[in-house]
Structure 1
Amino acid sequence: MPLDHENVIYLDNNATTRVAPEVVETMLPYLSNYYGNPSSMHNFGGQVGAALKDARASVAELIGAAPEEIVFTSCGTESDSTAILSALCTFPEKRHIVTTRVEHPAVKSLCENLDTLTGRKHRITWLPVESDGTLDLEQFRQSLTEDTAIVSVMWANNETGVIFPVEEMAQIAHDHGVLFHTDAVQAVGKVPINLKETAIDFLSLSGHKLHAPKGIGVLYVKKGTPYVPFLNGGHQENGRRGGTENVASIIGLGKACQMAAANMEEENTRVKALRDKLEKGLLENIPKALLNGHKDKRLPNTANISFEYVEGEAILLHMNQLNICASSGSACTSGSLEPSHVLRAMGVPFTAAHGSIRFSLSVYNTEQEVDFVIEKMPSIIANLRALSPFWEEE
């Protein structure tokens, strides 16, 4: 039997969010009655095209862009790949990319496999991060060369919530004649973004991170930026991305963007206060617990906490028995545990990296839920440490 969502304490919103009921309601007519192809010449399809136009305007307004700068894609990963590969196609003589050691796999894996995918050699500069997850801007500036085709740096880290100064970095890149892309999947809807005032050329976002459905994303392409499509086909998206539009999801994303704009203040006040209360309660009541990431330069909803001498997967299993959903900072691969590449890059001690838990909240979370987690987590950690041969309570 499926678990009733009302019985779940969902603190895994950086993985995916609940589709807002208002978004579902907005989508339903386009899954039933209004099924015309928006590219058709007849009025039945034309009314669908008009709805897509309105959704495009809503997305653009949330991020301070013009509607014609919005390209709908299938997800953030497609948007990331499109931006980076477009730059390499635009400047085939340039073989250098600058990114960070803490990027999402959507960027990290692409850069690692570029030579195989393109049949050409590339040089990748992997910018390190400080122990609090922040970047050194001077080191970034020195990494740029005449051979650099594009910089790709996430707006906010998906594991720690640490926010990078991408607006300043984009200007530095432009001063060196280099294109700049940011994976803003985690940032959109949580922090104010006004692309009209930045030098950012490409920005990726994903609907399922801001209460829209899975399977819909956006690539922002600044007006005047050279661009080569990733998917070629029909004339959709003004020739920038072939394929019949995912109509219902696009319209749902438009509604979600309207709601995100209206909820921005709540994200940065009430949700942030809940996040801070959760952090404080866990750090004060559980020995050898530490916060991963800069204390202030973080998304308002994200807390990554390590509990030394226990495994993150074991913690999650015990949390799951209480219907508490969160994520671990480590991953299980081929039967052996590997700490998160983000935490490794930050130099988090091995004894703590395996026991990291990411709590990510949303506007749907309540103080009662946070109180419940604060009440239950100390005993979960204590019981697991009692089984650990490495734990000696001070």
Structure 2
Amino acid sequence: MRRIYLDHNATSPPLPEARALLRQVLDTGWANPASAHLEGRQARAFLDTAREQVARLARVPVTSIFFTSGGTEAAHAALHGAALAGTGEQIVFSGLEHAAVRAAVAGLAERGFRLVEVPPGRDGVMDAQRFISACLAGDTAVAALIRAHNETGLVQPVQAVADALGAHGIPLVVDAVQAPGRLHSILPHGEHVLGLLSAHKIGGLPGAGTVVAAADRPMVPFLGGGEQERRRRGGTPPLALIAAMGAAAAHVAGQGSEPRERMGRLRDEFEEELLHEAEGIEILGREMARLPNTCAFLVEGVPGEDVVAALDMVGVAVSSGSACSTGSARPSESLLAMGYDRDRARGLVRLSLGSGTTRAEMDHVREVLVTVLGRLRRYGAASGVS
């Protein structure tokens, strides 16, 4: 049975370019890039190339890029680095943030910062003025607003927020992990914006990530121990993984708009046909700006994790939310923030396409999904489960 993978928001398979460069670096670039000898200089060349490739993808100066061990470390590095470098007393973040960002702000609360969580609207989109007002109502050290939501795919008003906060010198951390290859603009413009990227979301491998921050922005290193990465992140960098991230970034940057336009058409056709063929489906944000590869829906009367398990058994990989939360019985924090009750939020199912997903695959997934939903509902009715 040939499996169909529709969980690219959790991770995408490594691109051939990334795998090839990984092997090359392990063979010839294994030295410490901070060393002055030939082997160190060879390693440094791989690091410099990757920095240029990621900067080109994000459309920022190469001096704005520093590497981390992944998106989670990037979130902690950006939030801690900006907050501790300033004099503000509160951290403002949206109710849509990824678990990594939530953990980072929780760590700042332990250091004495006051936390202000701003819920989104029922439609899953943050009201820009409400968020801005919360930031300006107190002495804000740093704010965080996700670029596009990893579960619903809904695009957030980061540019309007960045403009308003930038006028007051307030740094804004933008989790843009889901944006490359899916949105034309990865990060909002602004000298006070700090962006987060992750290798394995773009065809690299887990273990490498990036913070995008202006070279002159004051930051306290989250990890000390050395002067690597322009004194912003101590420790020898995971060079092979960073080089693979650079190769993936170059691939995505060279694709242009065609893959995201095609994914959007496939997603829209799938949703329209699914709504005609299945009952009790609520597609989240269908009429709003979303990541073109993301379809998130709520199933009435059936837990999302049951749908995921049933599809897995017939060769289709999807999820019931963020991979960092899947496996627990807890409903999505973001859906709860949007006003859904816990039972309704547990019905979440997310399909996230890749650039290679085909129409035939989406047609097959729709057919088996309709069958699976019917079977699960019949089982629930027969067993008295609602």
Is the pair's TM-score, using the shorter chain for normalization, greater than 0.5?
Answer: yes
Retained in 2: the 8 A contact 1:332–1:338?
Answer: no
1:298 is matched with 290
Give, in whole Å, the separation in 2 of the partners of 1:390 and 1:299: 38
Tell me the SS of whatever aligns to 1:129. Answer: coil
1:107 is matched with 101
Give, in whole Å, the separation in 2 of the partners of 1:310 and 1:322: 18
* Worse overlay, 194-203 or 154-163: 194-203
Retained in 1: the 8 A contact 2:8–2:201?
Answer: yes
* Corresponding position: 1:62 with 2:57: yes
Measured against aligned partners, the alpha-carbon deviations of 1:120-164 in whole angstroms (never above 9, x if no partner) come to 2x2222111112211112211211235110111110111001111
Deviation (angstroms), 1:339: 1.7
Retained in 2: the 8 A contact 1:167–1:200?
Answer: no
2:218 is matched with 226
1:7 corresponds to which of 2, 13, 17: 2
Once the two structures are superposed, the pairs formed by residues 94-173 of structure 1 within 5 Å of their partners are 94-116=88-110, 118=111, 120=112, 122-144=113-135, 145-173=137-165
Give, in whole Å, the separation in 2 of the partners of 1:81 and 1:39: 24
Q: Give the counterpart letter for 1:289 in structure 2.
A: I
Retained in 2: the 8 A contact 1:23–1:256?
Answer: yes
* Corresponding position: 1:74 with 2:69: yes
2:29 corresponds to which of 18, 34, 52: 34
TM-score of the superposed pair, with normalisation by structure 2: 0.93
Retained in 1: the 8 A contact 2:152–2:350?
Answer: yes
After TM superposition, where is structure 1 displaced by more than 6 Å over at least 4 residues in a row? 330-333
Retained in 1: the 8 A contact 2:166–2:190?
Answer: no
Q: Give the counterpart letter for 1:316 in structure 2.
A: V
2:277 is matched with 285
Q: Give the counterpart letter for 2:165 in structure 1.
A: A
CA gap of 1:294–1:199, structure 2 versus 1, over 3 A, is: farther
Alignment length (residue pairs): 382
Tell me the SS of whatever aligns to 2:298. Answer: strand
Deviation (angstroms), 1:263: 2.3
Tell me the SS of whatever aligns to 1:7. Answer: coil
Deviation (angstroms), 1:103: 0.6
Deviation (angstroms), 1:257: 0.6
* Worse overlay, 219-228 or 342-351: 342-351
2:253 is matched with 261
CA gap of 1:331–1:205, structure 2 versus 1, over 3 A, is: closer
2:202 is matched with 210
CA gap of 1:258–1:332, structure 2 versus 1, over 3 A, is: closer
Deviation (angstroms), 1:326: 0.6
Q: Give the counterpart letter for 2:161 in structure 1.
A: M
Once the two structures are superposed, the pairs formed by residues 352-391 of structure 1 within 5 Å of their partners are 352-389=344-381
Deviation (angstroms), 1:387: 2.2
Retained in 2: the 8 A contact 1:309–1:391?
Answer: no
Deviation (angstroms), 1:330: 8.7
Give, in whole Å, the separation in 2 of the partners of 1:168 and 1:104: 21
Deviation (angstroms), 1:171: 1.1
Retained in 2: the 8 A contact 1:331–1:339?
Answer: no
1:186 is matched with 178
CA gap of 1:264–1:159, structure 2 versus 1, over 3 A, is: farther
Measured against aligned partners, the alpha-carbon deviations of 1:199-227 in whole angstroms (never above 9, x if no partner) come to 44211110000000100000011132111
Tell me the SS of whatever aligns to 1:134. Answer: coil
CA gap of 1:112–1:237, structure 2 versus 1, over 3 A, is: closer
Deviation (angstroms), 1:194: 6.5
CA gap of 1:267–1:349, structure 2 versus 1, over 3 A, is: farther
Deviation (angstroms), 1:356: 1.4
Give, in whole Å, the separation in 2 of the partners of 1:266 and 1:330: 26
Measured against aligned partners, the alpha-carbon deviations of 1:231-277 in whole angstroms (never above 9, x if no partner) come to 11222112211111211111111111111112241332111111112
Q: What is the aligned-residue identity percentage?
A: 35
Tell me the SS of whatever aligns to 2:132. Answer: helix
Query: What is the Cα-based RMSD across aligned positions, in Å?
Result: 2.3
Q: Give the counterpart letter for 2:120 in structure 1.
A: V
Q: Give the counterpart letter for 2:81 in structure 1.
A: S
Give, in whole Å, the separation in 1 of the partners of 2:324 and 2:355: 30
Tell me the SS of whatever aligns to 1:187. Answer: coil
TM-score of the superposed pair, with normalisation by structure 1: 0.91
1:3 is matched with none
Tell me the SS of whatever aligns to 2:141. Answer: strand
